[in-house]
Amino acid sequence: MNKLAGHISNIEVSGGMSLVTVKINKVVSLKSIVIDTPETASFLVKGQAVNVMFKETEVVIGSLEDHRISLQNRIKGKVTAVEKGRLLSRVRIATDAGEIGSVISTASAEKLGLQEQVAVYAMVKLNETMLLE
């Protein structure tokens, strides 16, 4: 499980849901969709310290090319390790937000040419992120 600490910097509410932006540091912000609002969840307050968590299997890895896709959570980094298995590979990525782990197919890891020091984006759908106080 990936876990990054930050502070809530923005909350957009629609109906019973909130789109929460968490500032991890000066460079990295992540978004999460929460089925709660500031009225129903006391931790949904600007400035509140939270942890953003997401599974390694939810991290998409892309090259530094311009990806015209809907993923808003994109963190630039460099591969620090690749553990290749027959079917799946575990990839470690050093980013400005901290280390991020990803589990992708070995075929995809090979197609992307993933090895140490390769520059990549780690991307996560906003509905796959969880917020914890």
Taking only the tens place, the pLDDT of each residue in 51-109 is 999 999 999 999 877 778 888 999 999 999 999 999 999 999 999 999 999 999 999 99
Q: Kindly indicate the confidence band of residue 49, based on its pLDDT and cuts at 50, 70 and 90.
A: very high
- Please provide the CATH number assigned to the domain covering 2-132: 2.40.50.100
Q: State residue 110's pLDDT score.
A: 96
| Domain residue extents for the chain | 2-132
Say how far apart CA 4 and CA 78 lie, in whole Å.
Answer: 17
Q: Two tokens at 21?
A: 């932006």
Q: State residue 66's pLDDT score.
A: 72
Q: Which long-range contacts (CB under 8 A, 24 or more apart) does 19-23 make?
A: 19/126, 20/44, 20/131, 22/50, 22/52, 22/131
Q: State residue 50's pLDDT score.
A: 97
How large is the average pLDDT for residues 3-18?
97
Q: Kindly indicate the confidence band of residue 45, based on its pLDDT and cuts at 50, 70 and 90.
A: very high
